[in-house]
Chain A
Amino acid sequence: DAGVIQSPRHEVTEMGQEVTLRCKPISGHDYLFWYRQTMMRGLELLIYFNNNVPIDDSGMPEDRFSAKMPNASFSTLKIQPSEPRDSAVYFCASSEGGGMLDTQYFGPGTRLTVL
């Protein structure tokens, strides 16, 4: 069975450009999470969805970031306009349930560089 799929794997863009990151969760998983990882701050939760509905977006850094989940098999994280400090690895993860012991499975990540 395929794991969490993310695209692109690498993205290099210039400051001010729009960036769209994509994620396909594991089939049957009801929860989807977006994380950002940097050396300085480690792995941070940005937002998560349950059954395509955003539940908690308190980790989204600012209005330049937005996330959508139009259906159970697809989600996007958009940054507009992008800034150099957005450079990070962005991970998408999914889990079958939202219980405390439900395992989150991570995708391979998108390495974003904003010049």
Chain B
Amino acid sequence: QSVVTQPPSVSGAPGQTVTISCTGSRSTIGAGYDVHWYQLLPGTAPKLLIYGNNNRPSGVPDRFSGSKSGTSASLAISGLQAEDEADYYCQSYDSDLSAFVFGTGTKVNVL
């Protein structure tokens, strides 16, 4: 079973920067597959935040940025706002399973 690991939670005060890590393996991120990020707010449809490691879809603020290196990736949220309090998931692909894989998810708390 593929596991892509994220910290359960991260916290920051308004205006600060928080970073969420996403650690994969040789069959996922380490195999060269790109990483994508989603935001889940209660009661709403999941939203694509970052695709292809560091690209923002139209309408996503530039406070959100992504990066990838080796078997890991990260999402940074700068200028943290109360509306950023949500669950965030990374997603890649697993060549051993021939399946999409999601990270374990991270709850962002705005203090």
Q: Do A and B bind each other?
A: no
**Interface positions of A (Cβ within 8 A of B):** none
